[in-house]
Amino acid sequence: MRSKSCICVNGSAGYLINNNVPVFIYVVCDGSFYENNKELFYKYSTYAQHTFISEDVIKRADSTEAENLLNTCFLLKDICKSRGGIGRKIRYKIKTMTNKNLRIKCSAFRKVKTIAFSTDVTHGHFGSATVAFSALQIAISLKFGRIIFSGLDLKGSCKRFYNEVNAQPTTLPADLSFILRSFSYVSSHYDGKIYNLSPQTAIPYDVIPFINTEEVACSTSY
C-alpha cells in the first residue's frame, strides 16, 4: 500500500497512519463525523496530501472553521438531491444533457430515489448515503487505471477505527438498497476497472468484482 495512491475516509486514516502508509486523499462527507471528531479530522487532514469534504461538513462548522476548511480542503458540491418532484427532475435531465461528466437517473415514481454519479468532481458529486461512493467518484475523476476498495462490506458489522462519543447507530440497513442501486449504476455506465478486497460484502461481486491480495501484489498496474 505504501507504493499506491491511497484514498481513505473518516476514521480509517488512523489505521494507515499507524502503519506508516502515506495518505494521498482524505475524504469526509458526514458532517456528524466532523462535528464529533474534530481533533481526529484535523490530525488526519494534516497527514494527508489532500482533503475532500462535503457541504454537510461545512454546515456543521462554525464561521471560522468553515473559512479555514474552504481555504484548505476541496469542497464536494452536490450535483443533485435524491428526493424531488417533476420540476427538479427535469432540471436534472437538462443538467446531464449539458454536462457529459454527470449522470443522473430519475424515476417517474416519486417514492423512488434519484441516483447519480460524477466522472469529474470539480462539477460536483453524489453522496448516496456512504462516503465510499464519494471516494469512488474522486478516484474516477483522477482517472486511476484501477480502483480497489478495502473494507467495503456495507454490513454495518465492522468495528470503527476510532472511539466516538455519542456514536450514532448505523443507517446502512435502511440505506443499503439505495447504495446498491448507486454502485450498480456506476458499474453499468463506467468502463474502468473497479474491484473489492472484502471477502464478505453486501455488494454482489457482479457489481464490484472480488480481487484477492495476491492478485494485487502480483500486478504492476494501478
Torsion of CA 158, 159, 162, 167, to 10 degrees: 90
Cβ proximity of 207 and 184 under 8 Å: yes
Which tens digit of pLDDT belongs to each residue from 145-192? 999 999 998 876 555 555 555 556 667 778 999 999 999 999 999 999
> Which sequence spans correspond to the domains of the chain?
7-218
Cβ proximity of 23 and 49 under 8 Å: yes
**Residues in the chain with pLDDT < 70?**
1-3, 156-170, 219-222
Label residues 28-37 b or e (16+ Cβ within 10 Å = b): bbbbebbebb
